[in-house]
Structure 1
Amino acid sequence: MDLTTATWTDVRGLETDLAVVPVGSTEQHGPHAPLGTDVLTAEAVADAGVERVGREVVRSPAIPVGIAEEHRQFPGTMWVSEDTFRDYVGEAVASLASHGFDRVVLVNGHGGNVDALREVGGRLTRDGDAYVVPFTWFEAVGDHSADMGHGGPLETALLRHCDPDSVREDRIEEARAGAADGWGEWTSHTNLAYDAAEFTENGVVGDPNEGDAKRGEELLEGAADALARLLEAVAERDVSRPESR
């Protein structure tokens, strides 16, 4: 059930304790992909995953602003601090848990959120507020994951499949021309760059032209299947905490 379109009386009668929360970011994705790419892709994967589960799942509205200061030089990008993000996500999940939806999967579409979401999940779980697990869709697509850039082949492919009108196809060549081959500037296994503008002219990493709609369909299938398996595991898991040894 989607909380955005449900009424409170619809929700009152639900017997499930399982929920998904899409989490994204509002940030630059090059000249061809929308600022809301990470929200759109997280929502698409969340919805497709929920459809594959043979049980009721509550789907919350997406959290649209994340940890994205590394894109601050590109207009339109929004961000909050890590502390604010952790608190906001944690309190949003706690509000779901207060209504009995206390097994929660955070469906993430932004790499900058990964560490913070793991911390949020650990804190809420250890404190007994809810059992919370983060899931990042582009980490769950098999061999495709190696091609994850930024506004590159994977994100462009998924958008072309799920929301083709959002991709500015007439700017693809511009996106390719200003793209970096990889994320960051590395020496001795250390990334010397803190901001994307240090190594990519237009914010793109990877070749968006390598992400067609067919690949996007494969990505959605793989990510949704993985999410469905995770949801079933979270629903069935014994979430009691181990005793001290």
Structure 2
Amino acid sequence: MHLTRSTWTEMDEVDTDLALLPVGSTEQHGPHAPLGTDTLNAEAVADAAAERYEAPVVVAPAVPVAVAEEHRAFTGTLWTSESTFRAYVRDIVGSLAAHGWDRVVLVNGHGGNVSALGEVCGRIVRHDDAYAVPFTWFDEVDAEVNMGHGGPLETALLQHANPETVREDRLEEAAEGGSDRWGDWQGRVNLAFDSHEFTENGVVGDPREGSAELGAELLDESAAALVDLLDAVAARDPGPRAT
């Protein structure tokens, strides 16, 4: 059940304590993929899992702006501080829990959100009347190509789930102006804080290695993992809250 597509009376009749909260970002993904790539992909995985799950699941509207200041040099990128982001996500989970949907999976599509989501889920579980866990879709797939940024995996999932958003005629440009690795490394230390320091057009990896067929496989694999996680969250006893 999608909150944004339903009436309040319809949602009042939903018998579940499970909810999915897609979390994305609005940030550059090279010249070929939209600024909303991370949000679109998180939504696609959440929708696919909700359709597969054997019991009702509430799907909340996506969080579209997140921790993305590392892409600030590229026009259109939006960002918030980690503290604001964590507080906002916590408030949304609290709102869901107030209606009885108090077991929430945060379906993440942006690597820059990972640490903040882990921290806020711990705070929610310890101190709030809710249970929340983070799920990052690209951590759950087994692909022969690297994740990158605007690279083959993100591009492939778009090509399958939202094909109209990919500028296919710019894939060559994206690959030629990109980088083959994330960062500027000295040993194990990344000297670069922002993406423009190591990639001319924002791309890391070769998006030409993506395809709609690969995207279908990625969606199937990540949605299956999310369904398994929903089962685990439904059965979980989170234990006592901190005082």
Q: What is the TM-score with the length of structure 1 in the denominator?
A: 0.97
Contact kept, 8 Å, 2:135 with 2:226, in 1: the verdict is: yes
Q: How far apart are 1:240 and its partner, in Å?
A: 1.9
CA distance in 2, matches of 1:54, 1:232: 10
Using the TM superposition, give the Cα deviation of residue 52 of structure 1 relative to its aligned residue in structure 2, in angstroms: 1.5
SS across alignment from 1:224: helix
Per-residue deviation, residues 131-185 of structure 1 (Å, max 9, x unmatched):
00000000000245x6101000000100011111100011111101101001001
Q: Is the 8 A contact 2:49 2:224 kept in 1?
A: yes
Q: What does residue 45 of structure 2 align with?
A: 45
2:126–2:241 contact (8 Å) kept in structure 1: no
Q: Which amino acid aligns with 2:204?
A: V
Cα separation, 2, equivalents of 1:242 and 1:127? 6
Distance in 2 (CA, whole Å) between partners of 1:14 and 1:150 is 38
2:8 pairs with 1:8: yes
Structure 1 residue 237, shift from structure 2 partner: 1.1
**Structure 2: 5+ residue runs without aligned partners?**
none
Residues 6-45 of structure 1 show CA distances to partners (whole Å, capped at 9, x for unaligned) of 1111111222100000000000000000000000000000
Kept in 1: contact 2:158–2:215 (CA 8 A):
yes
Mapped to 2, the partners of 1:77 and 1:98 lie a distance apart of 32
Letter in 2 for 1:207: D
Tell me the CA shift for residue 46 of structure 1.
0.3
TM-score, structure 2 as length reference:
0.97
Moved over 6 A (4+): none
**Aligned residue for 2:190?**
191
Aligned equivalents of 1:80, 1:158: Cα separation in 2: 25
Map residues 53-92 of structure 1 onto 2, 5 A cutoff. Answer: 53-92=53-92
Letter paired with 1:235: A
**Aligned position for 1:30:** 30
RMSD: 1.4
Distance 1:242 1:168 in 2: 48
Distance 1:188 1:242 in 2: 42
Does structure 1 retain, via aligned residues, the 8 Å contact 2:146–2:152? yes
Distance in 2 between residues matched to 1:84 and 1:128, nearest whole Å: 18
Alpha-carbon distance in 2 for matches of 1:121, 1:76: 29
Aligned length: 243
Which segments of 5 or more consecutive residues in structure 1 lack a partner in the other structure? none
2:226 & 2:192 partners in 1: Cα distance?
A: 32
Question: Counterpart of 1:132 in 2: which secondary structure?
Answer: strand
Q: How does 1:26-175 map to 2 (within 5 A)?
A: 26-144=26-144, 147-175=146-174
In 1, Cα distance between the equivalents of 2:163 and 2:149? 17
Percent identity, aligned pairs only, is: 64
Q: One-letter code of the match for 2:223?
A: A
